[in-house]
């Protein structure tokens, strides 16, 4: 079966965050602007998902979701087949989206005023949720070594004051696209054990890994510390199902699992029927679609990186995973306001601005490459015209 990722689907005027918010948030006119910010794809979901939704529409009854057996079985099979991780169904708690799940982890495993460690620059929702829960974000700035990010656990250890309770790891890393090695994950897990920290791993991009790299599920890298781990996984990025707001919070430790579920119950959350149907169908029938997608995204990545490398003063971090290009424009020595003005008014591209990702994000831009290649080519042309001078 072939899949048409080149098809341009007009999402404007459909209450789509990615396209309908580019004018109020970025000042980019949607009439001719390019949306390359929020991390969802401009591709149709796999046919198996479309079929599952069509069958639900044909029934025409949209009630509460019942047993989660089919969902859990599909997720367990996927994690074992793709990642070699055997998960017990009792470990899985269904989340109302992984950002919500992270918020509940913060409530369950820390108190107001406690520190929550993140490795910055990192996905900006982490800081937003930490602050909303009245905890303190502790930023451990990543070091760039030979064009890739690495953690500096020694510096982090020296900075701790004892009020830290949780580490949130983005694995693979967003926005740097780094796939952490088993050794790095093991070092971090041992660090968490030494400092009595709960390790919460957001592994939502775990299926979007390019040839030559392999994602390692954190408990497999550090089995000795798995009793202090929480793994957050979903099909949302893999299969473009973000609107389904469905994910899995996987906790092997019974005490931690009980604490998490108590907080979730207090919030009155329950699974979203359509999200459960979509995720189950994607795991059961989306493997071929995903393989084709990786090939297509790899082509977009290579095209974009070559274009960026040809523009003096710009540099793109090598992507090992995700579809989110991380571009360094700091060599141009432009003020942030100037960068934003050039992007919105000259290039007419809505991209994420680096400072929103925390320390280390200054002078950077994040571009979503999960869009038809014609748009990536047009973005490259616009960036060349905008920044070449």
Q: What is the tens place of the pLDDT at every residue in 204-215?
A: 999 999 999 999
Nearest CA-CA partner of 235 in 86, 371, 95, 345: 95
Beta strands in 65-147 (DSSP E): 92-95, 115-120, 136-141, 143-145
Does this model's pTM top 0.85? My answer is: yes
Asked if residue 168 and residue 254 are part of one domain, the reply reads: yes
Nearest CA-CA partner of 367 in 262, 311, 272, 297: 297
Give the per-residue pLDDT at 137. 98
Q: Which of the listed residues 239, 265, 285 is the one where a domain comes to its end? A: 285
Asked if residue 204 and residue 180 are part of one domain, the reply reads: yes
Q: Is 184 inside a domain boundary?
A: yes
Nearest CA-CA partner of 326 in 138, 173, 131, 158: 173
When divided into structural domains, the chain yields a total of 2
Asked if residue 240 and residue 113 are part of one domain, the reply reads: yes
> What CATH number is given to the structural domain containing 362?
3.90.1150.10
Q: Is 272 inside a domain boundary?
A: yes
Q: What is the tens place of the pLDDT at every residue in 71-108?
A: 999 999 999 999 999 999 999 999 999 999 999 999 99
Asked if residue 280 and residue 292 are part of one domain, the reply reads: no
Instruction: Match 């050794």 to its residue by tokens.
Output: 183
Q: What is the tens place of the pLDDT at every residue in 295-352?
A: 999 999 999 999 999 999 999 999 999 999 999 999 999 999 999 999 999 999 999 9
| Residue 233 predicted with pLDDT over 90 | yes
What is the average pLDDT across 370-377?
Answer: 98
Asked if residue 101 and residue 159 are part of one domain, the reply reads: yes
| Mean pLDDT score of the chain | 97
Provide the pLDDT confidence category of residue 374 given band limits of 50, 70 and 90. Answer: very high
Q: Is 6 inside a domain boundary?
A: no
Give the per-residue pLDDT at 362. 97
Asked if residue 183 and residue 38 are part of one domain, the reply reads: no
Integer CA distances (angstroms), 31 to 12, 22, 302, 352, 382, in order: 9, 11, 28, 19, 15
Residues facing residue 364 across a β-bridge:
328
Domain range enclosing 149: 62-285
Give the per-residue pLDDT at 148. 95
Asked if residue 293 and residue 258 are part of one domain, the reply reads: no
Q: What is the tens place of the pLDDT at every residue in 32-85?
A: 999 999 999 999 999 999 999 999 999 999 999 999 999 999 999 999 999 999
Provide the pLDDT confidence category of residue 1 given band limits of 50, 70 and 90. Answer: confident
Asked if residue 280 and residue 324 are part of one domain, the reply reads: no
Give the per-residue pLDDT at 42. 98
Helix (H) or strand (E) holding 337: helix 336-341
C-alpha–C-alpha distance, residues 203 and 301, integer Å = 21
């Amino acid at each position: 079966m072939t899949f048409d990722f080149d098809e341009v689907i007009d999402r404007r005027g459909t209450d789509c965050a990615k396209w309908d918010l580019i004018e109020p948030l970025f000042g980019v006119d949607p009439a001719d602007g390019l949306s390359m910010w929020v991390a969802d794809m401009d591709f149709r979901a796999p046919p198996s998902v479309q079929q599952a939704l069509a069958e639900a529409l044909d029934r025409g009854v949209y009630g509460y979701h019942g047993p989660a057996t089919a969902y859990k079985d599909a997720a367990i099979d996927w994690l074992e087949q793709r990642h070699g991780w055997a998960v017990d169904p009792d470990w899985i708690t269904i989340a109302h989206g992984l950002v919500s799940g992270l918020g509940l982890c913060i409530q369950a495993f820390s108190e107001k005023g406690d520190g929550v460690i993140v490795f910055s620059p990192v996905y900006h929702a982490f800081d937003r949720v930490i602050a909303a829960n009245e905890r303190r974000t502790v930023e451990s700035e990543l070091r760039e070594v030979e064009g890739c990010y690495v953690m500096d656990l020694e510096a982090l250890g020296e900075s701790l004051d004892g009020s830290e309770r949780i580490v949130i790891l983005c694995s693979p890393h967003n926005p740097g696209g780094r796939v952490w090695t088993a050794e790095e994950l093991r070092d971090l897990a041992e660090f968490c054990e030494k400092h009595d920290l709960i390790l919460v791993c957001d592994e939502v991009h775990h299926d979007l890994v390019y040839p030559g790299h392999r994602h390692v599920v954190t408990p497999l890298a550090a089995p000795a510390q798995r009793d202090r781990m929480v793994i957050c996984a979903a099909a949302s990025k893999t299969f473009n199902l973000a609107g389904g707001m469905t994910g899995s919070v996987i906790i092997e430790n019974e005490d931690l699992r009980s604490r998490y579920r108590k907080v979730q119950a207090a919030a009155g959350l329950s699974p979203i029927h359509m999200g459960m149907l979509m995720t189950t169908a994607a795991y059961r029938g989306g493997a071929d679609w995903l393989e084709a997608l990786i090939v297509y995204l790899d082509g977009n990545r290579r095209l974009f990186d070559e274009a960026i490398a040809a523009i003096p003063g710009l540099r793109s971090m090598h992507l090992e995973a995700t579809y989110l290009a991380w571009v360094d424009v700091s060599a141009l020595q432009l003020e942030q306001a100037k960068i934003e003005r050039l992007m919105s008014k000259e290039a007419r591209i809505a991209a994420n601005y680096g400072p929103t990702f925390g320390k280390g994000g200054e002078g950077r831009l994040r571009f979503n490459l999960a869009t038809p290649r014609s748009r990536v080519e047009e973005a490259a042309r616009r960036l060349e015209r905008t920044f070449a001078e």
